Amino acid sequence: MDFTEERITYLGTGIADLAAAKRYLRSKFNQRPLEPILRRPGARFYVTARRGRRTAFLLGPYVSHMTALADVPRGRRLVRDRFPFEFDVAVGTTSILTTVPTRFGR
Query: Measured between alpha carbons, how far is 25 from 27 in angstroms, rounded to an integer?
Result: 5
CB distance 58 to 76 below 8 Å: no
- Residue 4 has what pLDDT? 53
Residue 1 pLDDT > 70: no
Give tens-digit pLDDT for 32-55. 665 655 556 778 899 999 988 899
Helical residues (DSSP H) of the chain, grouped into ranges: 18-29, 65-70, 72-82
* For range 91-99, the mean pLDDT: 89
SS3 category, 48 = strand
User: What does pLDDT average to over the chain?
Assistant: 81
> Would you list the domain boundaries of the chain?
1-33, 44-96
- Residue 27 has what pLDDT? 79
State whether the Cα torsion 98-103-105-106 is positive or negative. Answer: negative
Residue 74 pLDDT > 90: yes
